[in-house]
Amino acid sequence: MTAIVRAVEIRKSYGDFQALQGISLDVAQGEVLCIIGPSGSGKSTFLRCINQLEQIDGGALWVNGELAGYRQAGDKLHELSERQIARQRLATSMVFQRFNLFPHKTALENVIEGPVQVLRRNRAQAEKEARTLLERVGLGHKCDAFPVELSGGQQQRVAIARALAMQPQLMLFDEPTSALDPELVGEVLAVMRDLASSGITMIVVTHELGFAREVADRVVFMDGGRIVESGTPEQVLSRPQNKRTQDFIAAVIA
Ligand code: ADP
Ligand code: MG
Ligand 2 center from residue 148 Cα (angstroms): 25
- In this structure, which amino acid lies at residue 188? V
**Residue of the CA atom closest to atom 27 of ligand 1:** 14
Alpha carbons 164 and 94: distance in angstroms, whole number = 9
Ligand nearest to the CA of 13: 1
Cβ burial, residue 183 (10 Å; 0-12/13-18/19+): exposed
Ligand 1 center from residue 122 Cα (angstroms): 39
Residue of 10, 14, 16, 49 with the most ligand 1 atoms within 8 Å of its CB, for mutation: 14
pLDDT tens per residue across span 181-193: 999 999 999 999 9
C-beta 12 within 6 A of ligand 1: no
Ligand 1 center from residue 39 Cα (angstroms): 9
Tell me the whole-structure pTM to 2 decimals.
0.96
User: Please, which pLDDT band fits residue 72 given cuts at 50, 70 and 90?
Assistant: confident
C-beta 40 within 6 A of ligand 1: yes
pLDDT at 169 over 70: yes
Mean pLDDT of the chain: 96
Strands (E), the chain: 3-14, 17-28, 32-36, 58-63, 66-67, 70-73, 76-79, 92-95, 170-174, 201-205, 218-223, 226-231
pLDDT at 1 over 80: no
